[in-house]
Amino acid sequence: MRIGSSVGLIFVAALVWGVVAQGQTVADVSLQPHAAGSVACAPSGDATWMTPAEKSCYQTTPDYAETMAYLNRVQSAAPGQVRIEAFGKTGEGRELDVVVVSRDGVFDPSELHKAKRPIVLVQNSIHAGEMDGKDACLALLRDMVISKTKAGLLERAVFVFIPIYNADGHERRSAYNRINQAGPAEMGWRGNGTNLNLNRDYLKLDTPEARAFNSMFHRWLPDFFVDDHVTDGADYQYDVTFTIDDGPNVPKGTAKWVNEVATPTLEKYVDSHGHLASPTYINLVNDNDPAEGLGFNDDPPRFSTGYVILEGRPGMLVELHMLKDYKTRVTGNYEILAGLMELMNRDADKVIALNAAADKEAEALGAHPLGNVMYPLALGWSGDTTPFLFRGYKYTRELSEVSGAMRVEYTHEPWNVSLPFQTGFKVKAETKVPAAYIIPAQWVKVIDVLAAHQVEMERTTATWTGDVETYQCAGMAWQEPPFEGRHPTFNGEAMHDPGKYGSCVLVREKRTFPAGSAVVRLNQRLSKVALEWLEPAGPDSALQWGFFDSIFEQKEYGEAYVLESLAREMMAKDPKLKTEFEKKVASDPVFAGNSYARLEFFYERTPWFAANRVGQYPVGRLLSVEGVPVAR
């Protein structure tokens, strides 16, 4: 589920459900907005290999222990085709596993890549209340290796899936974790053990789960990635929605295949197997009026599907519709995964070739004279639209006496209408790609994140002084409420000004870097990871997430009695400065009434203030690594 500026939560009941503040009363919990299970059934046939969800008629989903018990049974029954591998531990100490499914018992990723067998990696339960993909994968696994009804999906492709990524959140089970969702009876929690959203941590790597995932991802380096979710937002007819990113940072060849082959093929497959698919995540321009149209999702690298773009791999976001019953959602998730496996067998050579081309393109970014390539860092809607046949439900709008806002109430009468779909991209911030970056040795945490991403780096063997491009930052602001345990910066419209990157202006100056500083060349496969992490305007850069906050702290101050005398001397020597000061006092009443700001006006124009280096970005951009003393 994606939650951004358009949340789309229309259920006023959210005000009284879930965790409440101390002293508040909880509303009658019998008034559930959605029944846990609306499909009446009874298990039939041989229950030996029914998944736990199937045995319950999709009323429940198995907990961690039950899930792993089922998977271990399958592995024992088909040891030549299934292997469960641990890839890390959660903060609470639970084991994180991937399940590898191969037709012939080849489980080594390097051997599979050599044999040109496409690897599909599916991630489930990152938001552990959205566990549809987990139960779909259990059923698909069984049908590939036990019942063999889907054995053909392993003809060439290899199926690798994470059953439960957010294992700690998965075990925080409750009937009240997802107010917008119709079942199952209990489900896990969105955040991990420390209440962090793992789907905001793919670049900054704050959590043990994200670091374990990153290491596992590089071990497998899949040819196609899937992240399974359940929506929030509007009501509509689709039960399966999906998006495969094709934006400016996706190599053109891959984007062409996504648009012309993958997306229409998967939509057709899902529709032909008893479900209704939308080839885009439904992101309404106005949550309170669907008629205004839809917009695309620009996924920055905090998200899984945004991050895999930096790895040069196609990634698909799957979102099952929250208001459909659990059986419909699980079986819909099953079908899109089955369709993807069929496609990957068919287009194996094409996808493998596209990924190899993406790697070469990334390696070429830093292998050119500085300034020849522009890299887009932030994207938005350009306003260009294309018609989209939206299969929604008719609705009414009225002013709510509860919220005071317009209330949307959906009917169940189909509303098939052509709506404008925002498909045009606008680059909001971009940068000229340098040959390399140099990071001072003391910025250990910044360097550590790149090392965890397995970005190639060299270290300087001696102190080096030289000309670099860098940034001078000013006017920064920080988000006051915490977001993912941090207080990120936000730069407003300044990042869109030509020649500026956020509130950071590109400058060229001589800098000294100590021995042990990290040099990151951009002629490598993971060049885009370095760009997104080290360019201040990157939406998930180290600067945006607060890794460089201390550069904005002023450590030395002038005493008032010292500055009083200094200010008079400065005005006596510089009449223009005196005039500038007097104009500011006359035009800015806030400034005029702040004695500290008036004295600081003069201090900021002295070499004593400059010695604070306030806003001086520590990372250098190199035109060339020639002359820099480095050792790998």
pLDDT digits (tens, 9 = 90+) for 266-285: 999 999 999 999 999 999 99
The mean pLDDT of the chain is 91
Q: Are residues 444 and 514 in the same domain?
A: yes
Residue 14: predicted pLDDT: 36
Residue 631: predicted pLDDT: 87
Torsion of CA 334, 338, 341, 347, to 10 degrees: -130
Q: Are residues 422 and 432 in the same domain?
A: no
pLDDT tens sequence across 337-369? 999 999 999 999 999 999 999 999 999 998 866
Residue 514 is encoded by which pair of tokens?
A: 């100590």
Residue 291: predicted pLDDT: 95
Backbone angles phi, psi at 176, to 5 degrees: -120, 25
pLDDT at residue 36 is higher than 80: no
Q: Are residues 164 and 227 in the same domain?
A: yes
Tell which phi-psi region holds residue 49, choosing left (phi > 0), alpha (psi between -120 and 50) or beta.
alpha
Q: Are residues 218 and 229 in the same domain?
A: yes
For 128, the enclosing helix (H) or strand (E) is: none
Domain boundary residue, one of 371, 401, 427: 427
Residue 373: predicted pLDDT: 86
Query: DSSP code of 261?
Result: I
83-92, 413-422, 486-495: segment of lowest average pLDDT: 486-495
4-13, 123-132, 564-573: segment of lowest average pLDDT: 4-13
In 10 A of CB 390, how many CB atoms?
24
CB 435 within 8 A of CB 366: yes
Q: Are residues 447 and 317 in the same domain?
A: no
pLDDT at residue 593 is higher than 90: yes
For 275, the enclosing helix (H) or strand (E) is: none
- What integer is the mean pLDDT of 407-412? 94
**465 belongs to a structural domain:** yes
Q: How many CA atoms lie within 13 A of 75 on its CB side?
A: 15
**Percent above pLDDT 70 for the chain:** 90
Residue 560: predicted pLDDT: 96
In 10 A of CB 56, how many CB atoms?
18
Q: Are residues 482 and 605 in the same domain?
A: no
Residue 2: predicted pLDDT: 56
Residue 251: predicted pLDDT: 96
CA distance 502 to 536: 7
**7 belongs to a structural domain:** no
pLDDT tens sequence across 526-569? 999 999 999 999 999 999 999 999 999 999 999 999 999 999 99
**184 belongs to a structural domain:** yes
Residue 300 is encoded by which pair of tokens?
A: 């920055």
Map 166-197 to HEC letters: CHHHHCCCECCCCCCCCCCCCECCCCCCCCCC
Higher model confidence: residue 92 or residue 370?
A: 92
**366 belongs to a structural domain:** no
For 547, the enclosing helix (H) or strand (E) is: none
Assign 354 to helix, strand or coil.
helix
Confidence of residue 297 (pLDDT cuts 50, 70, 90): confident
Confidence of residue 194 (pLDDT cuts 50, 70, 90): very high
pLDDT tens sequence across 371-400? 678 999 988 888 899 999 999 999 999 999
**376 belongs to a structural domain:** no
Residue 378: predicted pLDDT: 87
- What integer is the mean pLDDT of 46-55? 94
Q: Are residues 166 and 235 in the same domain?
A: yes
pLDDT at residue 16 is higher than 80: no
How many domains is the chain partitioned into structurally?
Answer: 4
Q: Are residues 537 and 589 in the same domain?
A: no
**3 belongs to a structural domain:** no
Residue 493: predicted pLDDT: 40
Can you say how many angstroms the Cα of residue 273 is from the centroid of all Cα atoms in its chain?
Answer: 30
Q: Are residues 44 and 98 in the same domain?
A: yes
Q: Are residues 295 and 184 in the same domain?
A: yes
Residue 12: predicted pLDDT: 34
pLDDT at residue 32 is higher than 60: no
Confidence of residue 45 (pLDDT cuts 50, 70, 90): low
Backbone angles phi, psi at 159, to 5 degrees: -105, 115
pLDDT tens sequence across 175-191? 999 999 999 999 999 99
Q: Are residues 161 and 173 in the same domain?
A: yes
Confidence of residue 490 (pLDDT cuts 50, 70, 90): low
Residue type, 387: P
**101 belongs to a structural domain:** yes
- What integer is the mean pLDDT of 232-253? 95
Residue 399 is encoded by which pair of tokens?
A: 């002013």
Residue 477: predicted pLDDT: 82
DSSP 434-455: -SEEEE-TT-HHHHHHHHHTT-
Q: Are residues 618 and 516 in the same domain?
A: yes
Higher model confidence: residue 99 or residue 12?
A: 99
69 lies in which domain range? 12-354
Residue 82: predicted pLDDT: 99
Domain boundary residue, one of 354, 369, 401: 354
pLDDT at residue 9 is higher than 50: no
In 10 A of CB 245, how many CB atoms?
22
Quote the pTM value: 0.91
Q: Is 468 exposed, middle or buried (0-12, 13-18, 19+ CB in 10 A)?
A: buried
- What integer is the mean pLDDT of 418-423? 94
Domain boundary residue, one of 354, 377, 409: 354
**585 belongs to a structural domain:** yes
15-29, 293-307, 430-444: segment of lowest average pLDDT: 15-29
Confidence of residue 480 (pLDDT cuts 50, 70, 90): confident
Residue 367: predicted pLDDT: 83
